[in-house]
Amino acid sequence: MEAQRTISGEVEIRQALDRLDTLGSVMMIAAHPDDENTALLAYFSRGLYLRTAYLSLTRGEGGQNLIGSEQGDELGVIRTQELLSARKIDGAEQFFTRAIDFGFSKTAAETFTKWPREKLLADVVWNIRRFRPDVIVLRFSGTPRDGHGQHQVSAIIGKEAFSAAADPSKFPEQLQWVQPWQAKRLMWNTFAFTAEQQKEEAAIKDKLPVDLGEFSQELGFSYSEIAGMSRSQHRSQGMGAAEPKGSTKNYLVTIAGDRATKNVFEGIDTTWSRVAGGSAIALLIEKARDSFTGRRAETLLPLLVEARTRVAALKDPLAVRKLHEIDETIALLSGLWLDAAADKYAATPGTPVKIAITALARVPMNATLTSVKLTGMDGIPQLDLAPATLVFNEPSRYSLTVLVPQTEPPSQPYWLVEPKDGALYAVRDPRLIGDPENAPVLEAHFRVRIAGAEIEITRPVEHRYIDHIYGEQLRPLAIVPPVGVTIPEQALVFASAAPRRIDVFVKANIANASGDVYLDAPSGWHIEPATRHFDLASVDEQTTASFTMSPPSSDASGELRAVATVGGRKITSSTEVIEYPHIPAQTLFPASQAKLVRAPIVTLSKNIGYIVGAGDEVPSALRQIGCEVTFLSADDLVRADLSKYDAIVTGVRAFNTRPDLRANYQRLWDYAQNGGTVVVQYNVLEGGPFGGNPTLLDHIGPYPIKVSRDRVTDEDAPVTFPNPQNPVLHIPNEITPHDFEGWVQERGLYFANEWDPKYESVLETHDPGEQPMPGGMLYTKYGKGVYIFSAYSWFRELPAGIPGAFRIFANMLSASKAQ
């Protein structure tokens, strides 16, 4: 929503002319949003005018969201847009593979058990063949020094792809669309966070220094400053970054190809002379560039138009791309404003969208609009336009109504349309792989005759509106079904055979939406009534359809689907709009389904006080097993009567995020002393090279506990019981190894590695090949009550409906009653 209109006018024209004169390209490869060296991207793109790309293997969906509750697919959509916002600032392009960020992994081998190596390599090769970079820069080394296994894999695969992309016997199915491509050089952009790594870096021979703190007079910033602005777009990761001034040395090392000793593009022709027939073009563009005084840019048009004619005659793929750049530069010099705005941001199949088309020449010159063509849907009408002279600074306006075809699919991001293929997205059209986002629903192609040339400019059809706080805004046009149906829980857990009310939300995307909604469950699950009718008068109106559900009498699991029928059309998805100020609004359509679980779960504690930290879905999971959950405020921590709670639970990272909790920890120990149960979930150990305050966790338990960065990332790692008599393993639910089956993503993180002998370890687990880690769950009696530290990932397992996780959590809540 926040408009970024900083680099414009004279600077934009200078950058466009310099870019027209440069034919080199570079691609950086790493694993996640935020791995990229943004300053280096800005230096390549805005300093050296190269075509620059960042290929991130993943969309970062496995991380933590620091700005909202979106996780998984939704978080991947947010991070994709954050990267695109960052790229608008540093000037690079953004690509991806099909790989899904499945969370932290310690080794490359562990990562390769999730990501099929050949498919990942194919995607990186495809991106290279499509982009054709002269130089490829790896962010990581491909060794354990990189930390995260996914980081290591990005470099291992990057090295393989450097030669595989040039080998026609590799992935020949891609050759119907692209040619093999051999980049000239593969480099590693070294990094050193620790003193040890700094020593290693200093010892590397033949490394090429680049000063990213170099100040650009043209831009008024150094590349490090631009990087700070760009990096600060990663808001969901809390990546607000400094804009450092002064020299910032970086190093690049040649790994394959000709060794560079002076500069990154040494021995690589990045001028027009690399294209046959290019030298004459270079002369014209250089002349245009050199004669630009900052005013009356339109006087350069004859030179660019002549260059355009010559470029259009060339067959070289580089020239084809340059033709598009020349057209945009001509439009820029001419102050051309070409716009196609939809009267709404969401449209349903079978309904009209009115499109306002505007063409305006804001510089006095001879310009004629010859045609406007809309693409993106089948059978749409076209503007019947006689060539029209554009009058200086007087907008020419046209309008057109498009009826969205009944067959038009909802605008789900292309990588979320098909069910996932393990830890890869399934993409039906292989040509889409790598694209950061869907092509716009509708595009307008303007043809304008200027100074003897006919240029083509393409603009997306978007909704343009005025926000009273943020000003003029744009929102992408989305195709949506008439209603969205939502089951609010990811999993519905039945702790007993008692029937329960299930609420389904139906929300209108059109006015006067009427229909029925029903639930589709496996046999044995009884639902009443069979259908519910709804009538929704206006857009965005929502109603709740309630059903009563009786689970089978014995253990069972299955899938529940909610289905709405509107005018003979079945809708099986929710309509979710993600809106944040730093990214364009995103619309997606998660399936309206929930996991069903019937499992025996008993809890002796019903009345739970919850101290929310960074935010998690544990409270709503506890309500499913019959708990009453009350959120404790800062005021409650100071003076409320805590003795009414059967147990008090601290949410994830509560000691990190709640100064009121850190100030009032003694009240929790007093509460335990008097017979209560305190459960502390995981907290992050801060400090070290990335900053933060390591003292936040000084009073995390009544006796000393030292939290470490130890984590167990294998969700199937065996779990054992170091003290088999501990009541948490027996009361009221008897815990067995079976309760650790089916877990998701990991076992836990930020385990303790030192603790007072008054604590007893309840569970032990560790990743394959590592030392035992008994510090994930610590138990102690305290006065008449019990304190439990538990860094297992309950915040993932409970919302996912893992029955064993519920049974163990219920035992923790029941601990003081179980003595």
Q: What does DSSP say about strands 135-138 and 25-30: parallel, antiparallel, or unpaired?
A: parallel
CB half-sphere exposure, 517, CA atoms < 13 A: 30
CB nearer to Zn ion: pick between 35 and 489? 35
The CA–CA distances, whole Å, from 553 to 187, 494, 508, 597 equal 62, 10, 37, 12
CB of 572 to Zn ion, least distance (A): 35
Q: Least distance from C-beta 140 to Zn ion, angstroms?
A: 9
From the centroid of its chain, how far is CA 670?
A: 43
What is Dmax (Cα atoms) for the chain?
90
CB of 118 to Zn ion, least distance (A): 23
E strands along 599-676, which residues? 607-611, 628-631, 647-650
Q: Are strands 785-790 and 677-680 parallel, antiparallel or unpaired?
A: parallel
In whole angstroms, the minimum distance from the beta carbon of 574 to Zn ion comes to 30
CB of 130 to Zn ion, least distance (A): 24
- In this complex, which beta carbon is closest to Zn ion, that of residue 197 or of residue 309? 197
Q: What is the bridge-based pairing of β-strands 443-450 and 367-375?
A: antiparallel
Instruction: Name the minimum Å distance from CB 34 to Zn ion.
Output: 6
Smallest separation, CB 184 to Zn ion (Å): 27
Spatial CB neighbours of 198, under 8 Å, sequence gap ≥ 6: 192
The strand ranges marked E within 197-276 are 208-211, 215-216, 221-222, 249-257
Q: Judging by beta carbons within 10 Å of its beta carbon (0-12, 13-18, 19+), is residue 713 exposed, middle or buried?
A: buried
Q: Which of residues 9-68 bind Zn ion (CB under 5 A)?
A: 32, 35
**In the window 277-306, what residues touch Zn ion (CB under 5 A)?**
none
DSSP assignment letter at 748? E
Nearer to Zn ion, 139 or 185 (CB): 139
134 binds Zn ion (CB under 5 A): no
- Considering the complex, state which of residue 109 and residue 426 has its C-beta at the smaller distance from Zn ion: 109
Nearer to Zn ion by Cβ, of 32 and 170: the residue is 32
What residues contact 502, with CB distance under 8 A and at least 6 apart?
487, 492, 519, 527, 546, 547, 548, 549, 560
Comparing CB distances to Zn ion, the nearer of 152 and 683 is 152
Nearest distance in Å: CB 20, Zn ion = 35
- Supply the DSSP symbol for 740: G
**What single-letter amino acid sits at 77?**
V
Nearest residue (CB) to Zn ion, 146 versus 339: 146
Q: Of 35 and 70, which has the nearer Cβ to Zn ion? A: 35
- For residue 176, the Cα-to-chain-centroid distance in whole angstroms is 31
We find the least distance from the C-beta atom of residue 151 to Zn ion, in angstroms, to be 6
- The residue type found at 742 is G
Distance of CA 117 to the CA centre of its chain: 22
Residue 446's nearest CA partner among 311, 340, 342, 309 is: 340
Residue nearest to Zn ion (CB): 32
Among left, alpha and beta (phi > 0; psi -120 to 50; other), residue 256 is beta
- Closest CB 104 distance from Zn ion, rounded Å: 10
Beta partners for residue 649, in sequence order = 610, 679
Q: 614 with 103: CB under 8 angstroms?
A: no
Q: How far apart are the first and last CA of the chain?
A: 55
Which residue lies nearer to Zn ion by CB, 220 or 238?
A: 238
Size of the site for Zn ion (CB under 5 A): 2
CB of 148 to Zn ion, least distance (A): 6
Site residues (CB under 5 A) for Zn ion?
32, 35
